[in-house]
Amino acid sequence: AKHPLVLFMPSGKRGRFPVGTNLLEAARELGVYVESVCGGRGICGRCQIDVQEGRFAKHGVTSSADHISAFSAKEQNYASKRDLKPGRRLSCSARIEGDLVIDVPQEGLAQAQVVRKDADRRVIERNPVIQMCYVEVDEPDMHKPLGDLDRLTQALEEDWGFADILVDHHILPKVQSILRAGKWAVTAVIHRDLETSRPSLIALYPGLKNEAYGIACDIGSTTIAMHLTSLLSGAVIASSGASNPQIRFGEDLMSRVSYVMMNPDGREAMTRAVREAIVGLIGKVAAEAGIDHTDIFDAVFVGNPIMHHLFLGIDPTELGGAPFALAVSGAIHCRADDLDLELNTGSRVYLLPCIAGHVGADAAAATLCEGPHRQDEMMLLVDVGTNAEIVLGNRNRVVAASSPTGPAFEGAEISCGQRAAPGAIERVRIDPATLEPRVRVIGIDHWSDEPEFAERAQATKVTGVCGSGIMEVVAEMFLAGVISEDGVVDGSLAARSPRIVQNGRTWSYVLWDGDARLAITQNDIRAIQLAKAALYAGTKLLMEKQETDHVDCIRLAGAFGSLIDPKHAMILGLIPDCDLDRVAAVGNAAGTGARMALLNRDYRREIEQTVRRIEKIETALEPKFQDHFVHAMALPNKVDPFDKLGG
């Protein structure tokens, strides 16, 4: 007769195993990652699984709790000391007795946007680079003069299969006392980045240590965002953000590069500032989660090339002008101590590779998260900031570029622009008949024609318009006929509406007239046209490289991407024509990508390989960029039909 069939969910990996096979071993054999700290001794509880019950016709399996060995003494013992949720089993002590469908709990990325209805449904599995390995070490024996450390590494090889372990020097002076304190039972923290690299012993604890954490951090030029994650369960246990203190040296990236060029200590000061902010955030997330920061063993960072270089202590001057040479483009592996991060002495750091001098590790992380390289459809991935980073491609080919959009999309260079903060108008609708606007304001969180608005506006004054608000107001002005296709405000409407006012030789639209008077000027509209034309021209260039006249789906990443309404982005011609329901704001895709790299070393390899084959296009060197740019100034633009906008 056939051996029982065991199917592991959510990965769907399956195999047949003889009755009596240990379930943890079966998982290992199939390459299904199930955590284990104690090596199957029934004390860590990390190997828990659920048995699904019922008939799974698609797979031809009937799974039942009766198809698994009865509760063992080890499980009883574990359940008596800690809580084991009903239905949960310790896979290390359960044996296969019939067909089974096993659920491996995935706390990690279940809540992330990685798996969406139109995205590929690839399952995110964990396979962290950090492994906690409990071992029992032989006591010293005068007849076998092998050192304590050597007996430890021997045990690690016997129990965990780690050959050729490298040992961090800082462990040597402590190894004897730790072994004795643990009565010859210790937990080794092993770092193993790639299949091919030698494992390293990076920390050692007496007894069972059943905790290990990692951080994923996105260093933006404006804000730094950090997630603290359990490396053993994959769950995010605390998140925090702070503004990047480098802002005091320069608002945007180029002004920070010039600061370095003009001040002898500039690079050092900015490196120190960002590292201090990161150390502060580490303290904050650790405190929030109630953990010790020395239990953080791994950290993944992403950022644009200038942030990446400054964080590593590299002078970014070369990135300030053509040919925009990166000091290093490949992934970085180093120690937290090298970067003064004040984690565990043995903690490791990983930075994703940079794609090009203008397209950084953040774009690589967003690519890893959204996965254009994993699918057949042509995906456009745009991260809008001071520079728009654009990635376009599919399984066959991926191209990338950055476009100099300038800061208009973030509300800078706009007369009434401001950061997205309480008091900023973020949404706008204009009635085409009366030209009267309705607005929604951050911190008031009601539309201006709702009764609650007036009351709440007492506390939160309207002070400006943020990036998404600017985009919406310009798009709405276009839809209401206030501006022409060329972006010119129609002064003749002044006769119809008091909102249209003269401003020197041009006209403005008064969006808000309260404590502050906020008018959208002709110059503001020009700034938005320039920014959107730059973005569109970059996209167009990449579409030409791909020899495609359409994209199948669009992902708008970053804070701005999640605020803009896809419809308005298309009305402005910011993004190419595409079915609106295939346009999705994906939030901090770079942060999610960093978390993926933290939780699974296979993702590190995947993005390193992908980045190597991404073709980099330098917009500044492409003669056609200027042409595209000029044509894209009009609304939506003069070259491409926008069919999907019809309805």
Q: How far is the CB of 200 from ligand FES (least distance, A)?
A: 22
Q: Which of 23, 49, 51, 92 is close enough to bind ligand FES by CB under 6 A? A: 92
Q: How far is the CB of 348 from ligand FES (least distance, A)?
A: 24
- Interatomic CA distance for residues 575 and 568, integer angstroms: 10
Helices (H), 356-438: 361-370
- When asked if residue 23 is in the footprint of ligand FES (CB under 6 A), the reply is no
- When asked if residue 6 is in the footprint of ligand FES (CB under 6 A), the reply is no
Nearest of 485, 542, 475 to residue 509 by alpha carbon: 475
In DSSP terms, which residues pair with 130 in a beta bridge? 191
- When asked if residue 46 is in the footprint of ligand FES (CB under 6 A), the reply is yes
Q: Which stretch binds ligand FES (CB under 6 A): 41-49, 234-242, 298-306, 350-358?
A: 41-49
Cβ proximity to ligand FES: between 45 and 371 the closer is 45
DSSP secondary structure of 148-195 = HHHHHHHHHHHHH---S-EE-GGGGGGHHHHHHHTTTEEEEEEE--ST
Please give the helix or strand (H or E) that residue 241 lies within, else none.
strand 236-243
Spell 402-435 as b/e; 16+ CB within 10 A means b. bbbbbbbbbbbbbebbbebeebbbbbbbbeeeeb
- Interatomic CA distance for residues 576 and 645, integer angstroms: 11
- When asked if residue 28 is in the footprint of ligand FES (CB under 6 A), the reply is no
- List the 517-520 sheet strands across, edge first: 500-503, 506-513, 517-520
Nearest of 39, 40, 14 to residue 29 by alpha carbon: 14
Q: How far is the CB of 444 from ligand FES (least distance, A)?
A: 52
Count of residues binding ligand FES (CB under 6 A)?
Answer: 12
- When asked if residue 102 is in the footprint of ligand FES (CB under 6 A), the reply is no
Cβ proximity to ligand FES: between 42 and 241 the closer is 42
Q: Which stretch binds ligand FES (CB under 6 A): 31-39, 296-304, 408-416, 460-468?
A: 31-39
Cβ proximity to ligand FES: between 27 and 296 the closer is 27
In DSSP terms, which residues pair with 510 in a beta bridge? 519
Longest Cα–Cα distance in the chain? 104
Q: Which stretch binds ligand FES (CB under 6 A): 36-44, 174-182, 188-196, 523-531?
A: 36-44
Cβ proximity to ligand FES: between 44 and 474 the closer is 44
Q: Which stretch binds ligand FES (CB under 6 A): 33-41, 62-70, 404-412, 455-463?
A: 33-41
- When asked if residue 224 is in the footprint of ligand FES (CB under 6 A), the reply is no
Output DSSP code: residue 3.
Answer: P
- Interatomic CA distance for residues 304 and 557, integer angstroms: 14
DSSP secondary structure of 12-44 = TEEEE--TT-BHHHHHHHHT-----SSSSSSSS
Q: How far is the CB of 28 from ligand FES (least distance, A)?
A: 11
Q: Are 52 and 103 in contact (CB under 8 A)?
A: yes
- When asked if residue 44 is in the footprint of ligand FES (CB under 6 A), the reply is yes
Q: Which of 42, 250, 280, 443 is close enough to bind ligand FES by CB under 6 A? A: 42
Q: Which residue has the closest beta carbon to ligand FES?
A: 92
Cβ proximity to ligand FES: between 78 and 249 the closer is 78
Q: How far is the CB of 82 from ligand FES (least distance, A)?
A: 10
- When asked if residue 47 is in the footprint of ligand FES (CB under 6 A), the reply is yes
Q: Which of 23, 38, 204, 551 is close enough to bind ligand FES by CB under 6 A? A: 38
Q: How far is the CB of 76 from ligand FES (least distance, A)?
A: 13
Nearest of 136, 34, 125 to residue 88 by alpha carbon: 34
Q: How far is the CB of 110 from ligand FES (least distance, A)?
A: 22
- When asked if residue 126 is in the footprint of ligand FES (CB under 6 A), the reply is no
Tokens of 169: 């020097």
To 10 degrees, what angle do helices 266-289 and 305-312 make? Answer: 90
- When asked if residue 398 is in the footprint of ligand FES (CB under 6 A), the reply is no
Let me know how long the chain is: 647
Q: Which of 6, 49, 90, 578 is close enough to bind ligand FES by CB under 6 A? A: 90
Q: Which residues bind ligand FES (CB under 6 A)?
A: 36-38, 40, 42-47, 90, 92
